[in-house]
Amino acid sequence: MVIDIKRGPLASTLVLHGFQKNSIDLKGWFNYIERWFQKGGVIPIKMDITGKNCVTGRSTIKFENGKKRLEQNNFQEITGIWIAALPPKVKIEMFDFIFAAHLDCTSPRDTLVLCWDDQIIRFERGYLETLAKDLYTYLQPAYGYGYQREFRQGPTFYPFGVLSGIDAFSEEAKQITQWSIEYGRSDGNYRIGMFRDIYPINFLSKPHLDQKIGNQTLQCWIESSPQHGELHTLINNKLWSWWIPEDNIATVREELKPMGLLICV
């Protein structure tokens, strides 16, 4: 198992939002995530749990102890789980991990984050698509995206609209806060079919593809030009992946801005 390594500066991240709450298979998800760590060559070491009968308190606990608590409670009434693999020298566990999974069902709209050291597993389309397709089995998300971000900039905080490691007065900080307001709050303006921004890979459901771009749907617009990226069906009529080459992201973003679909631009 690869644990005694020097962590690199760059994190790869997969984010999924908007689960079908009545269909969440928490036990199945947990078992999948444990295998995900193992396949990555790392060991889950620490865990944090929130829930009615299974709270770890203010500090994290050993993974095996957390697993026992979840099993004793039959994975019932759990609102959040954080799991991490850590290198030998760690100051702050929430920042210094090499692999992490964070599932949060406490907000009005749910979020899952998987984050890992890019030097262990590269940011690749096929790998991200496989993860999203597998995870759909347990959560049935309506939206998601993948990106790379330096560890010092809090890649696992970014999906929740929390600032970390950047200028609090920067344009990026305003955009991150905007996501927290529109998606994370019950009175926010987010609706299924909207985008946070445009990322190298975006995971879409039918409400996204049915959005109107002029006199055509988003699906038709994407498929009308290779400059708009590539759309793949992952799960028929349920989940698609939209892959956009890095050089085309800015152009796609600018073309979609006037349509009112992008929240953080």
- Averaged pLDDT for residues 73-86: 93
Please give the Cα distance from 132 to 67 (Å, whole number). Answer: 23
Determine contact, residues 143/205, Cβ cutoff 8 Å.
Answer: yes
**Dihedral angle, C-alpha 264, 168, 6, 39, nearest 10 °:** -30
- Other CB atoms closer than 10 Å to residue 229's CB: what's the count? 20
- pTM of the predicted structure, to 2 decimals: 0.95
pLDDT of amino acid 37: 97
**pLDDT per position as a tens digit, 214-261:** 999 999 999 999 999 999 999 999 999 999 999 999 999 999 999 999
Please tell me whether residue 38 adopts helix, strand or coil conformation.
Answer: helix
Comparing CA positions, the residue from 205, 194, 203 lying closest to residue 257 is 194
Determine contact, residues 73/51, Cβ cutoff 8 Å.
Answer: yes
- What six digits make up the tokens of 243? 């892959």
- What six digits make up the tokens of 101? 């999974």
Determine contact, residues 4/120, Cβ cutoff 8 Å.
Answer: no
> How are strands ordered across the β-sheet holding 61-62?
61-62, 46-51, 78-85, 99-104, 111-117, 10-17, 143-150, 201-204, 239-243, 230-235
* pLDDT band, very low/low/confident/very high, at 88 (cuts 50, 70, 90): confident
- Buried b / exposed e across 233-248, counting CB within 10 Å, b at 16+? ebeeeebbbbbbeeeb
CA 22 to chain centre: 20
**pLDDT per position as a tens digit, 14-70:** 999 999 888 899 999 999 999 999 999 999 999 999 987 666 666 789 999 999 999
Please give the Cα distance from 221 to 211 (Å, whole number). Answer: 10
Mean pLDDT of the chain: 93
Whether 1 shows a pLDDT value over 50: the answer reads no
- Averaged pLDDT for residues 148-157: 97
